[in-house]
Amino acid sequence: MKRIGWAIALAAAAMTPLAAAAPQATAPAANTTAPANDTAPAAPGIPMVAPTPDIGEPTPGGIAIQPQVTELGREAQSFHNNWLLLLCGLISALVLALLVWTLIRFNRKANPTPSRTSHNTAIEVVWTLVPVLILVGIAIPSIGLLRKQYSPPPADLTVKVIGNQWYWTYQYPDNGGFEIVANMLKEKDQVKAGERYRTDADGPKLLAVDERIVIPQGKIVKFIVTSNDVIHSFAVPAFWTKIDANPGRLNETWVKVDRPGVYFGQCSELCGARHGFMPIAVQVVPPAEFAQWVASKGGTMPGAKPAATPDSTAASPVTEAAVPAAGGAPQPAVAPGAAPATAQPATNQAATAQN
Ligand SMILES: [Cu+2]
């Protein structure tokens, strides 16, 4: 048994550095070549929004729920602050008062001959009914909130979120199926010369990423959440959103954010050694700016005419490396600002291979 234990430990030690290096290897080339200065845009094509202190990010020393920027979030926050906390406070105060009263009134000195009462119908009815009423008072608003959370209105945009050890990939199936890969930005002293590092405009330490999810303001955005390896959890506190990313399953959540800005979240399921280093950053922009960003990623807006492609092979941004089968075919031109090779949906790659 001891030998097996050692073998497992050795195997784990050998695999961890490889796995840890993987996200860097699969990250798009654009990430490593991005200029290391303060103006490096997180989302090329649109201006990068610097975070507003205390909104969409944790407050130092804060204990309250983050300010909510979705209607659902505000409703849930109000339910928590104005009803649940109030109930908790009242119950705690009542229990404490009963304890103190018992200690003073019924101690041995104050009450030398205790009552031998064992049943009292009135008290028994009260202590059964009151907790039932409290639970009903919690359940009714709770169920309403859950119903709104899990029966989303028709979506204006779908984003597929995929958890990986230890980074996130995001696909935009409604916009041509391009994909972006988000890795955490390292600090200045952790990167080689010329590599991109985190600045305050990117966001707080351990929360800033090289590629933000960009979504339009005021639109219903559906997130389809899954994983490539282990269970992760997609969580953005300012949206009141947290949902597990399970391998082989699709979970669904939705948001409608009414305030433009940048909002940070983290993987919220222990998923391995670098679980703490796979943050999430969402930039909410006006719809026109969203279309501009989609175009900069080589995507299209629904209903918009795709760019003229006289030769589909030449126009495909899929690089030789991504399609080894293309072999002797001429190197396809990469459209300016096009999504990286890994961004191509499987359908495009299959089409190229058939050509
Ligand atoms: Cu994770």
SS3 of residue 184 by DSSP:
strand
Q: Is the pTM of this model over 0.85?
A: no
Distance 351 CA to ligand 1 centre (A): 33
Tokens 């935009």: give the residue. Answer: 172
How does DSSP assign 54-71, residue by residue?
Answer: TSSSPPTT--SPPPP-BH
Distance 135 CA to ligand 1 centre (A): 34
Distance 172 CA to ligand 1 centre (A): 21
Distance 325 CA to ligand 1 centre (A): 33
pLDDT recorded at residue 306: 55
SS3 of residue 234 by DSSP:
strand
Distance 230 CA to ligand 1 centre (A): 8
pLDDT recorded at residue 195: 87
Of the candidates 230, 228, 246, 252, which has an alpha carbon nearest to the alpha carbon of residue 179? 228
pLDDT recorded at residue 143: 95
The residue ranges of every structural domain in the chain are: 71-109+123-150, 314-323+334-354
Q: Largest alpha-carbon pair distance within the chain?
A: 101
Residue ranges for the chain with pLDDT beneath 70: 1-44, 304-355
Distance 22 CA to ligand 1 centre (A): 14
pLDDT recorded at residue 162: 97
pLDDT recorded at residue 134: 95
pLDDT recorded at residue 47: 84
Tokens 């009714």: give the residue. Answer: 140
Distance 20 CA to ligand 1 centre (A): 13
Distance 98 CA to ligand 1 centre (A): 46
Distance 294 CA to ligand 1 centre (A): 26
Distance 275 CA to ligand 1 centre (A): 5
Euclidean distance between CA atoms 314 and 333, whole angstroms: 6
Of the candidates 159, 135, 128, 305, which has an alpha carbon nearest to the alpha carbon of residue 224? 159
Distance 269 CA to ligand 1 centre (A): 6
Distance 226 CA to ligand 1 centre (A): 11
Of the candidates 295, 291, 276, which has an alpha carbon nearest to the alpha carbon of residue 336? 295
Distance 118 CA to ligand 1 centre (A): 54
Count of alpha carbons within 13 angstroms of residue 266, beta-carbon side? 15
Of the candidates 178, 275, 279, which has an alpha carbon nearest to the alpha carbon of residue 229? 275
Distance 136 CA to ligand 1 centre (A): 36
| Residue 319 CB neighbour total at 10 angstroms | 17
Count of alpha carbons within 13 angstroms of residue 245, beta-carbon side? 30
229, 223 Cβ separation under 8 angstroms: no
Distance 195 CA to ligand 1 centre (A): 25
Distance 271 CA to ligand 1 centre (A): 4
Euclidean distance between CA atoms 147 and 144, whole angstroms: 5
Distance 11 CA to ligand 1 centre (A): 21
Distance 244 CA to ligand 1 centre (A): 9
243, 223 Cβ separation under 8 angstroms: yes
Distance 233 CA to ligand 1 centre (A): 6
